[in-house]
Amino acid sequence: MMTSSNGPARLSRTVTDSPLGPLTLVALDGALAGLYMDGRAPDAVDAAGAAAGADAAVLAETSRQLAEYFDGERQSFDVPLALDGTVFQHRVWDALRGIGYGETVSYGQLADQIGRPTAARAVGLANGRNPVSIIVPCHRVVGSDGSLTGYGGGLDNKQRLLELERRVSRVSAGWPDGTPRPRPAAARS
């Protein structure tokens, strides 16, 4: 159960459309507290009320930024977050935000990055408890062999997110078909 300094938290929610299907967005005290796909939201979210005030504003801004992301116009998010988790989970979620757009890392590499090289499984568990998928890009973590493994929104959605980011990254690095742009003569060696 989420709590705020005033006791049990009052969650607000809305549903926004996406190429992956409806996304349920949850706010708490003017910050994004959840993003869930395919009706996978925890039971507490079902009791969340309609958004008003600061919660309505953060949910509208999150919806706008998600639309930009899916249109290939945004590579990171800057909405305030209210993430309910342990200190270790927060370390993992912070590290997830450092994975570049269109890039992937393994659970072991992420464990190394947070200074816990033997904690790949624990990193995987923390990754799976990320309450704001896409915003905190847990879809960018793959198996040690590069295979797609576990994703709360479903492996099909994980693959679609990674393909979107790779496609946008290729286009931004070159021509629309992904071929590299020629370098100016002065830049050639």
Distance CA 113, CA 105 (A): 10
CA distances from 7 to 11, 55, 57, 87, 140 (A): 12, 17, 23, 21, 35
Distance CA 63, CA 22 (A): 11
**Amino acid (1-letter code) at residue 98:** G
Catalytic residue among 95, 110, 138, 161: 138
Adjacent-strand bridge partners of 24: 15, 36
Q: Does the active-site annotation cover 131?
A: no
Beta strand segments in the chain, E? 3-4, 7-8, 12-16, 23-28, 31-37, 49-50, 105-106, 141-142
For the record, the structure tokens of 149 come out as: 């493994």
Distance CA 77, CA 74 (A): 8
Residues annotated catalytic, as ranges: 138
